[in-house]
């Protein structure tokens, strides 16, 4: 692996992430860089800064009932709800309540909501909040279960996105692949790094990576 470097958000100099070049596998793709998003998700100060940026597309435009948090984004989700509920004449959700929920995963890897949570999804305006989007596999699965539970998806927000949209939905992100020089991702089985004979450096997921 090459030396880790720091990338700063173009929108907010207080938001930074550590990036490690290499050859990593995830549950759906191979990527050329590991993005360490843990501080942004688990530090209260950093999460608040991230939430402030992610709130911008919705704060005066969309009525939001529920934020569905995936991949460890619950702290950001709580701050995002707070941003969307702030007082102000142009704030759509001012003085309203917003629910912040996290789906469970069953033995088949399917996302499910407990009975007590389904009422805040069905016929409600929902933001889907994820850690990162590369292949989009996790987001597509999330769209399926939100549709199944009757949620009305208003927007998709992410800390990092390698694609600008999923289907008809734009992805609002703090970082994109353009912020990372030479960032590449490949479908499993169609990886140029593998074809070059480059061995894997690690197995990555939203919680970190394990060196091989």
Give per-residue pLDDT as tens, 153-170. 999 999 999 999 998 899
* pTM of structure: 0.91
Average pLDDT, the chain: 90
Q: Which of 48-57, 101-110, 128-137, 160-169 has the lowest mean pLDDT?
A: 101-110
Copy the structure tokens of residue 7: 């990338």
Distance CA 180, CA 168 (A): 25
Q: Which of 16-20, 48-52, 63-67, 206-210 has the lowest mean pLDDT?
A: 206-210
Distance CA 98, CA 117 (A): 13
* Contact (CB, 8 A) for 186 and 192: yes
Position 1 scores a pLDDT of 63
């Amino acid at each position: 692996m090459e030396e880790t470097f720091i990338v700063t958000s173009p929108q907010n100099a207080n938001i930074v992430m550590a990036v490690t070049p290499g050859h990593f596998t995830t549950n759906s793709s191979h990527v050329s860089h590991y993005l360490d998003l843990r501080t942004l998700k688990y530090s209260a100060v950093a999460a608040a800064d991230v939430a402030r940026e992610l709130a911008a597309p919705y704060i005066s435009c969309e009525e939001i009932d529920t934020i569905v948090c995936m991949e460890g984004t619950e702290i950001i989700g709580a701050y995002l709800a707070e941003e969307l509920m702030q007082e102000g004449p142009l704030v759509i959700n001012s003085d309203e309540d917003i629910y912040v929920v996290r789906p469970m995963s069953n033995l088949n890897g399917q996302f499910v909501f407990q009975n007590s949570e389904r009422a805040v999804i069905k016929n409600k305006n929902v933001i889907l909040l994820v850690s990162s989007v590369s292949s989009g596999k996790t987001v597509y699965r999330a769209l399926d279960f939100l549709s199944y539970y009757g949620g009305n998806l208003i927007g998709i927000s992410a800390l990092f996105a390698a694609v600008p949209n999923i289907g008809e939905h734009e992805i609002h992100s703090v970082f994109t692949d353009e912020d990372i020089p030479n960032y590449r991702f490949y479908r499993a089985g169609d990886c140029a790094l593998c074809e070059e004979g480059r061995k894997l450096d690690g197995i990555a997921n939203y919680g970190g990576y394990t060196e091989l």
